[in-house]
Each structure stands twice: as structure tokens, then as C-alpha cells.
Amino acid sequence: MAKPALKRRLMNYKEAAERSAVIRRQNVQRHQKATAVTSLRTEIQRHTANRNYQMELDRLHEASLRHSGLDATALNRMSELRGLVRR
């Protein structure tokens, strides 16, 4: 026995406008959520990079206090890290 085909009712102008408004609102919410996630991700990456720069700078500073001192490349990297680290 065959199933009867579902008949769709045509939408009038008001229903179509309400439906498109709902879709638009959902798109705005989705966009805001995606933007928030992206900004949080970049903020976390920036903080992680800054923390890594600070740890590397601290290691180089500790190495410079030892009697052997630092070579030229380490001194250059240390001065470069001073500019990168945000306090």
C-alpha cells in the first residue's frame, strides 16, 4: 500500500517574512558565537606565546649570570625577546 504524498501549504508574505527573520537572527547568533570563539583562541595563543617568550628570556638571563656568559647569538636573541615580551 502506497503512502499518501505530503502536501505542503504555501506560505503567505507574513509567514515568509517571519521565517526569514528567524533565519537571519540565527545566522547573527552563529556569527557572534564564531567570532567570540575565534577571538578567545587568538587571545589564548597570544598569552601562550608571551609566556614562552618570558620563559626563554628568563633562561637566557640565568645563563648570562653564570661564569661562562652568553655568546653573540644568545645576546641577540635576548635583546629580541625583550622587545617581544609584554608585561
Residuewise pLDDT in 10s, the chain (87 residues) = 667 766 777 778 999 999 999 999 999 999 999 999 999 999 999 999 999 999 999 998 888 888 777 788 888 888 999 998 876
pLDDT at 87 (0 to 100): 62
pTM of the model: 0.65
pLDDT at 56 (0 to 100): 93
- Give per-residue burial for 61-87: e unless 16+ CB within 10 Å, then b: eeeeeeeeebeeeeeeebeebeeebee
pLDDT at 71 (0 to 100): 83
